[in-house]
Structure 1
Amino acid sequence: MLPIVARRLFHLQELALGRPSFRILAELLESERWSPERLRQLRLERLQTMVRSAYDHTPYWRELMKTQGFTPEDIRCLDDLRRFPLLEKNTLRERREEMVWRDEGKRLQLVRTSGSTNEALQFYTSSTREAQINAARMRGHEWVGVRRGEKELYYWGSPVELCKQDRIKRVRDWLINDGLTNGFEVTPERLRKNYGDWLAWGPKCIFGYPSTFVLTVTMAESLGLNLKELRNRGLSVIITTSEMLSDVDRKLIADGFGVPVRDSYGLREAGLIGHECEHGTMHCMDEQIILETIDPETLEPTEGEGELVVTNLVGPAFPVIRYRTGDIVTLSQEPCACGRTLSSIKISGGRAVEFVVTKAGKWVVGYSFIYIARSVPGIVKFQVVQEKLGEIFIRLAVDERFPADGIELVKKKAAQRLGGDDEIHVEIVADIAPARSGKYRPVISKVAEELYKKRSFTD
């Protein structure tokens, strides 16, 4: 479909669903260059409106404000947000039905997060909230040269999404220039077919998980498939999401496809949080969210690195106020060469539960093991599993390039990474299956999960 026609058809679809996404997009493209003072005023006004509607329409938030001894009128500046206690995931689960404003707007529905840590959440959304998210995502894609209506391929899929690929949805996706390739089940046979389909369709952007792209590049190389040929068919950018994108993997994917790789970051329950611009800065969606960082142990505010806390300003059907994400990030107000005045974020430690904990009490970022996997040839997939303190298992799926002394190399590099006398076991497996959510988990540490639940970081 011609991009201009596909864009118009998508616009009409959004309006039919009660989502003024394109009007919001136009507003975002203007406000991203506002002065910091004007942005702060917008956020304060939206915070006050959201707190008022939460008080008026949701039993949970009204009860909480009364218990804490303040009213919506007491929110006079952004710092007053800290009158609210931190919102824990368990609270969201247990009190969900008291947090929803059922008459907020069109298409109120209960949705589920992907649950990449096997702790999926259910929460409510509506057309109001989804329009804001769609507009923010469209803006992020425009930053890297992709306008809605141009061909975008989604290289992922969940069990829900893939089973809905019926005839009507396929026709609709064709009309709006959306494509979907299953990124959860990558095999040599399927990759050959996917590659042929991609060449024929010619997407301008491919959107998916870093681990899926890494596997695709590695497998394509062994199969003799030249992914760079996609550039000649229109591919201009890879956009990643959902998993931490390391510098090593960014380079591997960029070299494999021959186009820039730009990252995005969001939480289904909190909204789109950040998207990289053409200069590689991950700008925050300041008009839609308020971000804080805290020490995950003391819960005190931090100026540098800390656990991310999110308040969504544009989801009145299900207010999310001071929500603990479990992600370790660094926030910044440093200016970017692109000229946008939005703040920025760096995902500096991945998910807080995705650490390996040594006997000495050191928390080693689980994704750091990715550097080991990339330094030893022939490792197609890897997974680090920690069932008990002082012992880790590293599972490897390898191909013919894996050297004879590969296991010992991995053990040595892992020992250097851990920096102690923890036992390290390495085993070769036929494959590494994804989690029930469909996402591939490179690190599974029951030790970190349990210590994190107990807020015990020094044991």
Structure 2
Amino acid sequence: MEKLRQDRLNALIDVAYTRTPYWKELMDSRQIKPGDIRTLKDLQQFPLLEKDTLRKKREQMVWREEGKRVQLVRTSGSTNEALEFYTSSSREAHINAARMRGHEWVGVRRGEKEMYYWGSPVELSKQDKIKRFRDFLVNDGLSNGFELNKERVRQYVSQWMAWKPKCLFGYPSTFVLTVSMCLDMGINLSSLKDRGLHAIITTSEMLSDIDRDLISQAFGVPVFDSFGLREGGLIGHECEQGTMHCMDEQVILETIDPESLEPTNGEGELVITNIVGKAFPIIRYRTGDIVTLSQKECACGIKLSSIKISGGRAVEFIVTKTGKWVVGYSFIYIARMVKGIVKFQVVQEELGEIRIRLAVDTQFPENGKDQVKELARTRLNSDDNILVEIVDDIEPAPSGKYRPVISKVAEQLYKERSFS
């Protein structure tokens, strides 16, 4: 494994130096030659890569001739900071292979039915249609978890009962809301276990022990978590023992003190180097996530390192006047579709009114506010009053984490278990 990692790191550094202007200029300025990186520790000769640098130097960091489908993608993750970067077919193939392997760790083999319970982009593109055909061939299904009300949840459960998936895959918050609505309606989700459901796999948000237990008890099957960054790749996936194993052959992980930025011994802010993404080298990228890394052996027998996430990512819901619960991630897709959005935040303080705050740059179009409002109205499918405002910046919460969605309405209704 260490030889494979070193070989892939060497290949990545060589590509970065010979194929990308940004990394060549940086390495020359620091007198780093590709041959100098002989061990994983040598990687610390590189400075930390900040998200703002990636955003500003993106076009100087890409190797467009790496292979098929080197293309620009946009993400906001679970934060409210928009980011564009390049990916390629080979990089995506590595990520998909890692995800398949993670699912096999918990007893879900490729080709067995998996239902993806999350959202889809605002508009269906040709590529989405191709993906749907591919999903049909490999037994993947999709239920839109971005827009939930009791009737829709009832329909989804009926569809799942008929389709008999072995795995449900989605966001923890979506599963928690689904469980709460089903309890309120008297729907027994554990019946899905009798139809072949084997596991729930979650992603993208912090999975608390309380939520894990709630979901597991309702569905009658174990819940396993996965962890990754769109720009960094899939980082870890839990095994049947509950250990989150790292994808060591694809990523090199470090930790630093978030204040001093000095390396730490396995506990601190996560720094990632993706060693299979040669089209767009990501070297020592700060993630902002607080983690603990470990080399301790797991009883499952998997010989990979492990990771625990200490600082979580949270997402919330917006509630429309019609009673529909719309998951916060749906607004991330809106932020991806309009150029120039650097940060965004959706705030709902009272039912019927939604305020979208945007920090933008010079690429934001003159009619950008109207575009955002129209996309939001399409997503909500409701006549709620939508206000769009441009702000200088969006400050993080006292915890230091950005909250892309803040809904006092959803918080109160959730406390009251009022989902009608």
TM above 0.5, yes or no, is: yes
Does structure 2 retain, via aligned residues, the 8 Å contact 1:162–1:182?
no
On the 8 A contact 2:254/2:266 being kept in 1, the answer is no
1:347 counterpart letter in structure 2:
I
**Number of paired residues?**
344
Map of 1:31-430 to 2, 5 A cutoff?
39-160=1-122, 170-351=132-313
SS at structure 2 position matched to 1:191: helix
Change (3 A) 1:164 1:350: farther
Query: By how many angstroms is 1:158 displaced?
Result: 3.2
- The 8 Å contact of residues 270 and 287 in structure 2, kept in 1 or not, is answered as yes
Aligned equivalents of 1:338, 1:316: Cα separation in 2: 32
Q: Following TM superposition, by how much is the alpha carbon of 1:452 offset from its aligned partner in structure 2, in angstroms?
A: 7.6
The answer (yes or no) to whether the contact 1:100–1:319 under 8 Å persists in 2 is yes
Q: Over aligned residues, Cα RMSD in angstroms? A: 3.1
Superposed CA offset, 1:123-165 (max 9, x none): 1111111111111011000001111111110000132476779
Structure 2: segments with no counterpart, 5+ residues: 317-324, 329-346, 358-371, 380-393, 403-420
Give the partner amino acid of 2:49: L
Describe the shift of the 1:451–1:283 C-alpha distance in structure 2 as closer, same or farther (beyond 3 A).
Answer: closer
Report if aligned partners of 2:147, 2:327 keep a CA contact under 8 Å in 1. no
What amino acid does structure 1 have at the position aligned with 2:51? K
1:70-104 deviation line (CA, Å, top 9, x unaligned): 10011111100001000000000100000000101
Match of 2:385 in 1: none
TM-fit CA distance, 1:448? 3.6
Would you tell me which structure has more helix in proportion to its own residues? 1
1:446 and 1:167 map into 2 onto residues whose CA distance is 38
Q: Name the CA distance, whole Å, in 1 between partners of 2:280 and 2:57.
A: 11
SS of the residue 1:310 aligns to: strand
Counterpart of 1:196 in 2: which secondary structure?
Answer: helix
Q: Secondary structure at the match of 1:227?
A: coil
Asked whether the equivalents of residues 305 and 348 of structure 1 are also in contact (C-alpha less than 8 Å), the reply is no
Aligned amino acid, residue 316 of structure 1: K
Residues 231-264 of structure 1, C-alpha deviation per residue, up to 9 Å, x if partnerless? 1111100000000100000000101111000000
User: Greater CA deviation, 329-338 or 297-306?
Assistant: 297-306
Counterpart of 2:67, as a letter, is G
Q: CA deviation at 1:46?
A: 1.1
Kept in 1: contact 2:78–2:205 (CA 8 A): no
Higher relative contact order (CA 8 A, sep 6+): 2
SS at match of 1:131: helix
Q: Secondary structure at the match of 1:52?
A: helix
Residues 406-425 of structure 1: CA deviation (Å, up to 9, x unaligned)? xxxxxxxxxxxxxxxxxxxx
Instruction: Measure, in 2, the Cα distance between the counterparts of 1:333 and 1:166.
Output: 39
Q: Residue 167 of structure 1: CA displacement? A: 6.8
**Does structure 1 retain, via aligned residues, the 8 Å contact 2:66–2:278?**
yes
Q: In structure 2, the residue corresponding to 1:50 is in which secondary structure?
A: helix
The one-letter amino acid paired with 1:106 is: K
What's the TM-score, normalizing by structure 2?
A: 0.75
Task: Report the alpha carbon displacement of residue 173 of structure 1 after superposing the two structures with TM.
Answer: 2.7
SS in structure 2 at match of 1:87 = coil
Unmatched segments (≥5 aa) in structure 1: 1-38, 355-365, 368-379, 384-394, 397-426, 440-444, 454-459
How much has 1:446 moved relative to structure 2? 3.0
CA distance in 1, matches of 2:135, 2:111: 11
Code of the aligned partner of 1:60: Y
Task: Find the aligned partners of 2:175 and 2:355 in 1 and give their Cα distance.
Answer: 16
TM-score (norm 1): 0.69
- Change in 2 beyond 3 A, CA 1:452/1:210: closer
**Cα pair 1:210 1:245 within 8 Å, conserved:** yes
Percent identity for Structure 1 against Structure 2 = 67
Q: 1:268 to 1:175 in 2, by over 3 A?
A: same
